[in-house]
Structure 1
Amino acid sequence: MRVVLTGGGTGGHIYPALAVAREISRQEPQATFLYIGTKNGLEAQLVPRAGIPLEEIEISGLKRKLTLDNLKTLWKFVQAVSASRQILREFQPDVVIGTGGYVCGPVVYAASKLGIKTVIHEQNVVPGLTNKFLARFVDRVAVSFEESLAYFPRTKTVVTGNPRATEVIHGDAEAGREFLGVSSDKRIVLIIGGSRGARAINEAALDLVPRMADDLQSHYVYVTGEVHYEAITKALQEKGELPRNLTVLPFVHNMPDVLAATHVLVSRAGASTLAEITALGVPAILIPSPYVTNNHQEKNARGLERAGAAEVILERELSGETLHKALTSLLKDQERWASMRERSLTLGMPQAAANIYELMRQ
């Protein structure tokens, strides 16, 4: 089987695509892959690391109001469709799978016009512009949430879950602890702002640092995001001696192992993150990004909150004090933690990648 994957910009689009690739490889070891992305997206780093060849096209996203830039974007789209056609003709895939981000648009559209089987996956409750556009052209649509069914043609849409869930269930908690240098008698509190980091979470985490020494039963792992790492480490140095129970990292490439060892997660509410934590049953304190289209992260997070699997702090309410209060309450209440873990697991779909594999085989 020959498979083209496309999805770009952020880890939330790329990691699900890579998870699908790994599931296909498990099912069909002789499968061959090609990834089509952009040179500016995170895929330029993550895809080669996964050992998958990457072809680059030039494309940018549409603005939500009429501007001159949109006219330029439409012209880029036409050129990107032409470039995608050439790549697809040369590779001759059996299927093209898109996982979101504007790079998917020309690639999946070109594939549909060439008569190649096409599947798109939507991670969020409210779909993005690209997947809304592509839905009319593709063969099948996979969604992570039941609520998303209303946005797509019902006859071709299936709830599969997010394939990132399948990826993390293979994580090794012992390997995660070894990587972090944390012994098995310590709880791990993982604070992370997504693949590119989040300024608001970083600021709250900085304020939280002096209080970490009061909780020696826990080890705090603070992932700043690569673009923020230098500034954060400088700010931490200015605070003087850091708590011994704190590890600061710019990025974590072996996230399944680290998540498998995590007791409580503090993070944004991207769809891939929620798929990961519900597959593993990790209780979470979620700070949805208010800067995303249709406020979809808050919609994602509120679903977990209603189910009793997470606590939500809006960014405008976030501070070192509110984060400390939420963490202390959860870490000191083992019964509540266990309940959140159990309810989180009921939401998980660890078979998601296999579901998408079956969907593309139909």
Structure 2
Amino acid sequence: MHVVIAGGGSAGHIEPALNTADALRRADPLIGITMLGTEKGLDTKLIPARGYELRLIPAVPLPRKPSAALLTLPSRLLGTVKAAQQVITDVDADVVIGFGGYVALPAYLAARRAKRPIVVHEANIRPGLANRVGAKFTDHVLTGSPAVPMPGATCVGMPLRPAITGLDRAAVRAEARKAFGLDPDRPTLLVTGGSQGARRLNDTMVASVKTLHDAGIQVLHSYGDKNAVAIEADPDGPPYVARPYVDRMDLAYAAADLAMTRSGMMTCSELAAVGLPSVYVPLPVGNGEQRLNAAPVVAAGGGLVIDDAALTPQWFAANVVPLLLDAERLTAMSEAARRFGIRDADEKIVDLVFAAAGVTRPRGVGAGSAGSAGGAATGSVAQAAETAKAAEVTAEPAEATAAETAKAAEPAEVIAVEPAEVAKSAASEPAEPVEATAAEPAKAAEPAEATATEPAEPAEVPAAVAAEATATEDGDR
């Protein structure tokens, strides 16, 4: 069996795609896997590093306002759909899986034209245009949260790495704290804003060093490789370990009693899966998605949420410090988070992919997800060891370039998408956050994408795209 996986542009799309690829390979080491990507974003950095074949197609973002770029939009869309279809044909794909991002929409359209089964996974509480359109072409629609408003979808959770799903925090805690130079017995706060850092979190921590010292609380603070913080901690007091980057987040989770972080979907999913209670500080830009991401686990009792502007040293001292000193409350929150967390999403996705392809899944092959049997396995630092998580590596998205173009010999086709209508829909969708989160750098602004159709079906696909792009319901982005 051969699978084409489309989820590129940002780590928020790439990481769940890669985790699914890993799960498929564990299920069947002989499976063929090809990742679709573009030169825009993190695709060329993260995907080859995990050992997967990457085929590039042109990135075709929509202009945010009427411009000369609209005049070339139809031909550029046609080229990227044809390039995606060429990949599907070259590898003789049995199924196409999409996770959103620049490549998902052309991948869905190409799979539909090639008559290949489609599986859609939507992580965001507010589904993006690509996945909303893709969901119209398949019955295999999955979500990362029960709060995602996609009719007929099945919530399977977010596919996570075995280092996370198999993490027993209590069993690994002593070794993890030793690895970071922390005291084995003090209450411990993990603060992270991802590889880029989060200024509000960093500023609050700098102003709270004395408060933490006086309370006997130690800190593991990942402040971001693009930031600098001046921490003046007492060398004879509780340890304050400040690093620009932590590449072993599994150990960081094991070392901590409480986390304070942004609330990207991967972050929320990982923290719930390991049962680490958290103070979520949603990124205050974009479409409010990060607050929505945190809401379900907070409602379940596994965390707190505080607006970015409200996170002051005074609030921190009145709320976070007492929580860290209340072992009974932390235990209850940890249990609530873990009950809410989903640790077998990768296995569920693998089952559905094989079913969609009409192929019997091999049994007894590969290790499977550590959390798929219900609960995490007891582990150690050695068992949890894994290369640095790809989702924590970030870079500024590069200018999109066409890595492939449609073959010149192929006849041109008409794309029935009205440029003015497309531009209107693109302008109506807010840009996504640009600051990093704990488990994933924030997604670069992800423009909506339009589509191409074949002459024999001139209205059906464009109508679906136009209808989704111009929707104004509260659930739309």
Q: Give the structure-2-normalised TM-score.
A: 0.66
1:329/1:183 Cα in 2 relative to 1: closer, same or farther (>3 Å)? closer
Query: Is 2:243 aligned against 1:249?
Result: yes
1:55/1:316 Cα in 2 relative to 1: closer, same or farther (>3 Å)? same
Partner of 2:429: none
Shift of 1:262: 2.8
What SS class does the counterpart of residue 158 from structure 2 fall into?
A: coil
Aligned equivalents of 2:43, 2:246: Cα separation in 1: 15
Query: Is 2:159 aligned against 1:180?
Result: no
CA displacement, residues 189-246 of structure 1 (integer Å, 9 cap, x when unaligned): 221223543333233233334544335452x2222333x2xx31xx427x69887723
What SS class does the counterpart of residue 110 from structure 2 fall into?
A: helix
Shift of 1:25: 1.9
Tell me how large the CA RMSD over aligned residues is. 2.8
- Pick which of 115-124 and 61-70 moved more: 61-70
Partner of 2:279: 285
Partner of 2:150: 151
More helix as a share of residues: 1
1:32/1:342 Cα in 2 relative to 1: closer, same or farther (>3 Å)? same
Partner of 1:348: 341
Identity over aligned pairs, percent: 30
Shift of 1:313: 0.8
1:323/1:273 Cα in 2 relative to 1: closer, same or farther (>3 Å)? same
Match of 1:300 among 289, 293, 302: 293
Shift of 1:60: 4.9
Aligned equivalents of 1:240, 1:183: Cα separation in 2: 15
What SS class does the counterpart of residue 246 from structure 2 fall into?
A: coil
Aligned equivalents of 2:74, 2:325: Cα separation in 1: 54
Q: Is the 8 A contact 1:98 1:119 kept in 2?
A: yes
Q: Is the 8 A contact 1:190 1:265 kept in 2?
A: yes
Partner letter of residue 5 of structure 2?
L
Partner of 1:162: 158
Aligned equivalents of 1:197, 1:68: Cα separation in 2: 37
Q: How does 1:1-362 map to 2 (within 5 A)?
A: 1-62=1-62, 76-148=76-148, 150-152=149-151, 154=152, 157-164=153-160, 168-171=164-167, 174=172, 176-177=176-177, 179-182=179-182, 184-218=184-218, 220-226=219-225, 228=226, 231-232=227-228, 235-236=229-230, 245-293=239-287, 295-362=288-355
Aligned equivalents of 2:73, 2:195: Cα separation in 1: 25
Aligned equivalents of 1:71, 1:339: Cα separation in 2: 58
Shift of 1:274: 1.3
Aligned equivalents of 2:255, 2:71: Cα separation in 1: 48
Aligned equivalents of 2:300, 2:53: Cα separation in 1: 40
What SS class does the counterpart of residue 8 from structure 2 fall into?
A: coil
Q: Is the 8 A contact 1:3 1:96 kept in 2?
A: yes
Shift of 1:63: 6.3
Aligned equivalents of 2:33, 2:99: Cα separation in 1: 15
Aligned equivalents of 2:213, 2:194: Cα separation in 1: 25
Partner letter of residue 342 of structure 2?
M
Aligned equivalents of 1:190, 1:279: Cα separation in 2: 16
Partner letter of residue 335 of structure 1?
E
Aligned equivalents of 2:333, 2:298: Cα separation in 1: 9
- Pick which of 71-80 and 21-30 moved more: 71-80
Aligned equivalents of 1:212, 1:72: Cα separation in 2: 57
1:166/1:135 Cα in 2 relative to 1: closer, same or farther (>3 Å)? farther
Shift of 1:130: 2.0
Partner letter of residue 264 of structure 1?
L
1:240/1:170 Cα in 2 relative to 1: closer, same or farther (>3 Å)? closer
Name which one, 1 or 2, has greater alpha-carbon Rg: 2
What SS class does the counterpart of residue 164 from structure 1 fall into?
A: coil
Shift of 1:79: 2.7
CA displacement, residues 122-147 of structure 1 (integer Å, 9 cap, x when unaligned): 11222122211221124511112223
Using CA pairs below 8 Å that are at least 6 residues apart, which structure has the higher relative contact order? 2
Partner letter of residue 121 of structure 1?
H
Aligned equivalents of 2:44, 2:123: Cα separation in 1: 21
Q: Is the 8 A contact 2:195 2:244 kept in 1?
A: no
CA displacement, residues 241-296 of structure 1 (integer Å, 9 cap, x when unaligned): 88772333333343234323332111111111111111111100001122233x12
CA displacement, residues 146-192 of structure 1 (integer Å, 9 cap, x when unaligned): 232x423x1xx211111127651224754644653445434442212
1:188/1:244 Cα in 2 relative to 1: closer, same or farther (>3 Å)? closer
What SS class does the counterpart of residue 284 from structure 2 fall into?
A: coil
1:80/1:72 Cα in 2 relative to 1: closer, same or farther (>3 Å)? same
Aligned equivalents of 1:258, 1:240: Cα separation in 2: 20
- Pick which of 1-10 and 241-250 moved more: 241-250
- Pick which of 114-123 and 278-287 moved more: 114-123
Aligned equivalents of 1:204, 1:74: Cα separation in 2: 48
Q: Is the 8 A contact 2:85 2:107 kept in 1?
A: yes
Partner letter of residue 273 of structure 2?
A
Q: Is the 8 A contact 2:183 2:239 kept in 1?
A: no
Q: Is the 8 A contact 1:6 1:37 kept in 2?
A: yes
Aligned equivalents of 1:253, 1:139: Cα separation in 2: 38
Q: Is the 8 A contact 1:3 1:32 kept in 2?
A: yes
Partner letter of residue 301 of structure 1?
A
Q: Is the 8 A contact 1:4 1:34 kept in 2?
A: yes
Task: List alignment gaps of at least 5 residues for structure 2.
Answer: 356-477
What SS class does the counterpart of residue 190 from structure 1 fall into?
A: strand
